[in-house]
Amino acid sequence: MFHITLISTYDLGHQPFGLASPAAWLEAAGAEVTCVDISVRPFQSQTVQSANLIAFYLPMHTATRLAVPLIQRVQRINREAHLCAYGLYAPVNERYLRELGVQTILGGEFEQGLVDLVAALRGGQPMPSFPSVSLHRQQFQRPSRHNLSPLTAYAHLDTSSGKRVVGYTEATRGCKHLCRHCPIVPVYNGRFRIIQPEVVLADVRQQVAAGAQHITFGDPDFLNGPGHALPLVQALHDEFPNLTYDVTIKIEHLQKHADALPLLRDTGCAFVVSAVEAVDDRILAILDKGHSRADFIQVARQMRQIGLPLTPTFVTFTPWTTVQGYIDSLALLAELELVEAISPIQYAIRLLIPEGSRLLKLDAVRDLVAPFDQAALVYPWQHPDPAVDALYETVFKLVKASQSAGESRQTQFNRIWQAALALLPEAEQASWAARQPVLTHLARAVPTLSEDWY
């Protein structure tokens, strides 16, 4: 029997689709698969001791950084195993991962690549050259979740009526858009791939049987293919009328497909995440987000009107952020009554510039960044105004302390507002008095995933 260990280090509090999906393919190919998710269970050396192939799932920056010491540890435990890294952050960090001893890199659509790798290793033939990125269309299989931790070990949904067990699936991968800061772009380059509807429904079905009451769709943009997505949630609602779900959709698509929003609401969508990133038009243009401040305001008001909660996310600290602009963004979010919808960590997100970022095509960015930092897996940068970097440090510490103390989102928002205001000269502080947010504890609560990132 050929033994494979698939390892996930972190996936935003979800039961990892990136383990469950390839596990199904590999089991169908006759391999014995062990899935290890160290975000919920401590790593145990016996899980890799007899493995012929050890593959690390790297869907994001944090997961990749956490994987580095584990790759080194695994090599000491099992020197004979073939090491593979797969997922979004594997190909963009290929050079560094190979230096660590990783032998095969698979990005994009990785399931077939893993099956082909196993066939090559089993055959004992010279190792073929695998492309680091494959975008071949695949016929997916129902993910295999039987040897993963139960859904109750992962993030739950907090609602006004109590906690709900959360499952996770994907209906598409990749994205049609080319936002400059997005880590998806270097791999998919404006393309996306669908997961067949019957596979998605089968995956949700098995998670509902395992206790899921809410499903997070992990698609980078759920409306990249509305003809695929909308019939899917209608079928889901027809079969499970009490099941709720959340999706991620660009502001641009929320405008373009505004007629679809009532359908989302009526089929159980609890909230829509949207990577707004900034409310400054200059920053939005640099990031090539495809929407403006006015577009965001229009969407926020429209969604409030139809009763579909919007949960914006942001890259609040960039090389182009100003203290005044930061305060302006806080004031706008309060005016739009979005404070309860935003996890306070979003006020302290600093722009990451990883290997392969389209931001590096801009002369202004290349002139700004320091050489690539392998330990941090980013191109470091400092803000031209030290006050902005000082504000970032202050806000980050405030959020961490406030969350540890269990303070409300409104209380945390007020602390951040005061900290930002304190960095301005007194004359400027006075000019902001007219926009001092007035928050009320009667504000409507929005369903929230318990993972801090949200």
Residue 443 has pLDDT above 80, yes or no: no
For the chain, what percent of residues have pLDDT higher than 90? Answer: 89
On whether the pTM is more than 0.85, the answer is yes
Q: Are strands 156-159 and 192-194 parallel, antiparallel or unpaired?
A: unpaired
**Mean pLDDT throughout 208-212?**
98
**Mean pLDDT throughout 226-232?**
98
Greater model confidence, 380 or 429: 380
**Mean pLDDT throughout 350-373?**
96
| DSSP secondary structure string for all residues of 283-337 | HHHHHT-S--HHHHHHHHHHHHHHT--EEEEE--B-TT--HHHHHHHHHHHHHTT
What pLDDT is recorded for position 430?
82
What pLDDT is recorded for position 252?
98
Residue 269 has pLDDT above 80, yes or no: yes
Residue 1 CB: number of other CB atoms within 10 A? 8
* Farthest-apart Cα atoms in the chain, separation: 75
Separation CA 152–CA 14 (nearest Å): 10
What pLDDT is recorded for position 416?
95
Residue 442 has pLDDT above 60, yes or no: no
What pLDDT is recorded for position 379?
97
**Mean pLDDT throughout 434-449?**
74
What pLDDT is recorded for position 440?
63
What pLDDT is recorded for position 402?
87
What residue type is 43 in one-letter code? F
Domain-wise residue ranges, the chain = 3-134, 152-449
**Mean pLDDT throughout 197-226?**
98
What pLDDT is recorded for position 78?
97
Q: Which CATH number fits domain 3-134: 3.30.70.360, 3.30.360.10, 3.90.1150.10, 3.40.50.360?
A: 3.40.50.360
Separation CA 36–CA 43 (nearest Å): 8
Residue 244 CB: number of other CB atoms within 10 A? 19
pLDDT digits (tens, 9 = 90+) for 243-267: 999 999 999 999 999 999 999 999 9
Separation CA 115–CA 87 (nearest Å): 15
| DSSP secondary structure string for all residues of 308-323 | --EEEEE--B-TT--H
pLDDT digits (tens, 9 = 90+) for 106-154: 999 999 999 999 999 998 777 878 899 999 999 999 999 999 999 999 9
**Mean pLDDT throughout 399-424?**
91
Question: What's the CATH superfamily of 152-449?
Answer: tm_1862 like domain (3.80.30.20)
pLDDT digits (tens, 9 = 90+) for 324-338: 999 999 999 999 999
**Mean pLDDT throughout 82-109?**
97
Q: 193: pLDDT confidence band, cut at 50, 70 and 90?
A: very high
Q: Of the given ranges (192-201, 238-247, 309-318, 409-418), which has the lowest mean pLDDT?
A: 409-418
What pLDDT is recorded for position 441?
55
What pLDDT is recorded for position 210?
98
Q: Is 105 exposed, middle or buried (0-12, 13-18, 19+ CB in 10 A)?
A: buried
pLDDT digits (tens, 9 = 90+) for 284-306: 999 999 999 999 999 999 999 99
What pLDDT is recorded for position 453?
60
Tokens encoding 54 = 């050890």
What pLDDT is recorded for position 249?
98
